[in-house]
Each structure stands twice: as C-alpha cells, then as structure tokens.
Copies of this chain bind each other. A is one copy, B any other.
Amino acid sequence: MPSRRNARANPVLSLFFEPRSLAVVGSFRENFFGGDVLVKSLLKAGYKGKIFPVNPAYKEVRGLKVYPSIQEVPQRVDLAVVMINARSVAGMVRECGAKGVRAMIVVSDGFAERNEEGGRLQKELVEAARQEGIRIIGPNTAGVVNTANGFNPCAYEAGYYRIRKGPIAIAAQTGMTNPQAFPYPELRFGVSKICDFGNKCDVDECDLLEYLAQDSDTGVISLYLESIRDGRRLLSIAGRVARIKPVLVFKSGRTEAGAKASASHTGSMAVDDKIFDSLCRQTGILRLEEFQDLFEIPKVFASQSLPKGGRLGIVTFTGGVGVVIIDKAATYGMSLTTLSPKTRQALDRIYQGLGNMPVDIGPMMAAVKNPFELYPKILEAVAADPKVDVLFNVLWANPADIVVSSYLKAYQRIKDHLKKPMATWVYGPNSEVSADLTRQVEEMGFPVFNSPEKCIRALGLAYQYSRIRDERTVQGARSKVQGTEIPPHQGRGSLIGRK
C-alpha cells in the first residue's frame, strides 16, 4: 500500500517507489549486473521492506531465502523486478498476475529497441500486463530509486548505496541517470526519486510527472526524453505540474539522425523538435541544453529563491568572464544591472571603480594590500543591493588559506538573508583547492557550476521560471473568477528553502 503522504497520486505508481515487499526475479550469480547486485544494493541502502528473490536454481542469496517461483512466495508482493530472457517476460507477467502483483519493473532488454521480434515480444508483454491489470516500468530499464526509504533496487554495481536525500527528482528515458552512472553522494542538494522509463511500454513521462508533482519529497523535476508517448496528455499534465514545481527537460533526438538512433535505443519515435519547443512554451517546461544539465541545473531550484527580475549582478576577478556571461545572460532576457548609488559609493570607497558593474576585483588585487580581507564586505554589499535580482559570483580559488577562508566568511554572512538566487563559478590554478572550495560552498547551500556558461543557464532558467509563475498567477486569478479550479502554486520567494 502506498503511504498516506502520496495518497492523492496514482496509488499503483506509488508501488514502484514505496513497495512494502519486492520480488526479484533473475540470476543471482555474482557479477557487475543482476539479482545479486540488486539485493546487495537494497540491503546496503537500508530498505526495510521484504525482499523475495525468485529463481529455481538458487537456495539462498545474501542470507535471503530464494523461492523457486513467484507463486511460492508466502506473502503479498507489491512489486516485481524482472531480469530474465525477453522471451520469458510475458509469461512472468501472467505468473505475477496470478500472484496478485500490480506493478513490475522489467529490466530485461531485447524488446522493441532490438529488432522486429523484440517488438513482437514487447506487444505481447503489454497485452499480458493489460489483461492482468499490472503496470510496467520498462522494459529495458535500469529501474528506480527512492531515497526516502532506501529503496535502491539497482541491478548495476555502483560501489555506493546511500544517496543523499534532497528535492531533485530525475526521470529519464535512459539508465544514464541511475546510481551506477553518476556519483549521487556528491550531488549535494540531494535526490528524491530516480526513474529510468526504459522503452516506456506503459508507465511514461506523464505518469511520472503526475506522481512527482504530488510527491512532497520532490521540489524540482529533471526529465530526459527521446520521444513523447502522448503529446496531448503531456501538454495537459506538464502545464499543470509546471505551476507547482519546475520541470526541466533535456530532449535528444533533435535532428533526423538523432531521432533515428532513438528508435534503435528505446524503440520509440521521436517528436519533431519544433513541435516540442512549442509544447515547452505552452506548458512552462524549461529546456536544458546538455546531458549533464539534468544533474546540475536543478541545483539552483533546489537551493535558491526565484528571482524577482532579470537584473544581473556580477562579482568577478576578471572582466573577461564578465563579457562571456553578459552575452549568455542576454539570451535569457537578463541584463547587467547598475548598482544603486549607495552600494556604488560604498564599493568605490573601497577601491575607485569597484562600484561599476561587473564588480571586478582584479584591478584592486594589484593596488590593495589585503584584498581578501575586504572580500566579504564587497560580496555582502552587492548581494544586498535591491537593484540586483540575480547574482553570478566568480571565485578565484587561489591556494592561499586566507583566500578560501574569506570566501567562506562572505557566504556565511549572506547565507541566512539572501533572497535572490546566486550561482558560483570556481576557477583557479589547483584542482584540489577548487574542488574543496566547491564542496564547502555547496555544503553551505549555494550551488557551484563547473563553467560560467552553466551558471548563467541555471540563473537564466530560474528567471524564466519566475516569469512563467507570474503569468500563471495572473491567469489563475482570472480562471478563478470564471469558476475554474486554481492549481496550487507557491508564488515567488523561496521555492524549497535553503538547507
């Protein structure tokens, strides 16, 4: 049974993330992949539900009794994870149906993504599932993760098992966002759910969006799509969900060649990219530019307030990066701000010209004895300026202790009262120092991105989302007058709250 928390969501969908009992059907040979890895992952992640391994050739795995068939499992099974030959999967659906199982994750591949025969097997599987009243994730999926309950049924060896809890949900038409593919413990803003749809013969992006919209652990949804199963339904659902939580989508298969490749990856037909772009505009879906954006861009939504406008403030050690950034910001409708007279004067008193935007600390470095002692004051002044809506901060990670400590002091000072989003780029002559500073800044709740362009992408999308929210609020108010239901939204201000 699903927990009360998600009672409003599709209760069957909850079985995929919150099963009280799980059957694992497949080989338990020790390997990089398979049932043995999956059981080990669950045990190490602290999953408290019941685990029933199923395979006639084994007696025991990792201290758990193995059942010869799913029928012989003595208790109720909420979810079955299946890793057997594609040809046997439809039969297993029948067996699961007989046992009363209502949700299956089909990890097995060799379906529509492989060849015509696989396509037939997939049809057979869908048909069987429909008849048995079973919902399917997959086939050809790396499965799901729920950090809330340690449900991490990962069939690929990742080498780690506990994933940091947090508000970011990642759902993808690929296994490339599952634990074996990304160092999630280092995603410092944490994860709520992960899901690989695989070939999405049944459960698809729309189902996931509905589920994640209602999931109180999820604050931002990051989605990788190659294809869309039902454009009309996505239009309706994404439009609703985007009012509640930011929905970020990276869609591949943009070119004809890419679309063709998608067909052989998950057996799905890609959608024309222009149509998808229009769908994004209509629904408020935010479009990502690169694959790794899926992990990184959500950090800004997971930790920062939404901006109240598009006036960009920059604090940098180099004018050059300022220029790169202003270029990129313009594509998101943001523009360089001018500091208010008070801030400007305060900065110019520290060093003549410092009050200009971008605030460039570089020239001061050559002229002032202890520039880093002044740093916290400078950042604080710019952060507090009412004419700055969005803040891009560049940190030069010089190996000297005073440098790093002055940055941390500055972040500490603004940490509790900053009501605008800030993105940080760290650069410098020593990777270890940069990585360490990055870690410390992120542990304080401020996202760091590994390129200046990515900082602006994150801030630009936050600005884009704040405008979508505004439009929706106005539209929602209008709808209310006409008697239409207003969807929930949190308005401006802190989205989730800094940790």
Contact = CB atoms under 8 A, between A and B. Distances in A.
Interface of A: 29, 31-34, 83, 107-110, 113-115, 155-160, 172-176, 179-184, 186, 224, 226, 252-258, 260-262, 264-266, 290-292, 318-324, 326-327, 329-331, 335-336, 353, 356, 358, 360, 362-363, 365-366, 369, 371-372, 396, 398-400, 403, 427-431, 433-434, 450-453
Given A264-B356, A318-B175, A159 B398 contact: yes
Given A291-B451, A323-B262, A318 B255 contact: no
A32 B402 CA distance: 11
A34 B318 CA distance: 17
A255 B327 contact: yes
B226 A323 contact: yes
Contacts of A371: 32
A169 B431 CA distance: 21
Given A257-B336, A356-B264, A290 B451 contact: yes
Contacts of A172: 320
A80 B327 CA distance: 35
B321 A176 contact: yes
Contacts of A264: 319, 356
Contacts of A430: 159-160, 183
A159 B450 CA distance: 21
27 contacts: A32-B398, A32-B400, A32-B403, A83-B366, A159-B399, A159-B400, A159-B430, A160-B429, A172-B320, A174-B320, A181-B427, A182-B428, A183-B430, A186-B431, A226-B320, A255-B330, A256-B330, A257-B329, A257-B330, A257-B335, A258-B323, A260-B326, A261-B319, A261-B322, A261-B326, A266-B319, A291-B321
Contacts of A326: 255, 257-258, 260-261
Given A31-B369, A336-B257, A157 B400 contact: yes
A159 B429 contact: yes
A258 B108 CA distance: 51
Most buried by B among A160, A320, A428: A320
A183 B396 CA distance: 12
Given A254-B327, A266-B319, A318-B174, A33 B365 contact: yes
A180 to B, nearest CB: 5
A252 B318 CA distance: 14
Most buried by B among A114, A157, A160, A176: A176
Contacts of A254: 327
A398 B108 CA distance: 21
Nearest to A172: B320
Given A32-B403, A181-B318, A255-B327, 6 more contacts: A160-B429, A175-B362, A252-B324, A257-B329, A265-B319, A265-B323
Contacts of A318: 174-176, 181
Given A32-B371, A258-B326, A400-B32, A183 B452 contact: no
A489 B107 CA distance: 53
A320 B265 contact: yes
A32 B255 CA distance: 49
A249 to B, nearest CB: 13
Given A257-B327, A336-B257, A182 B427 contact: yes
A197 to B, nearest CB: 11
A255 B160 contact: no
Contact of A330 (B258, B324, B451): B258
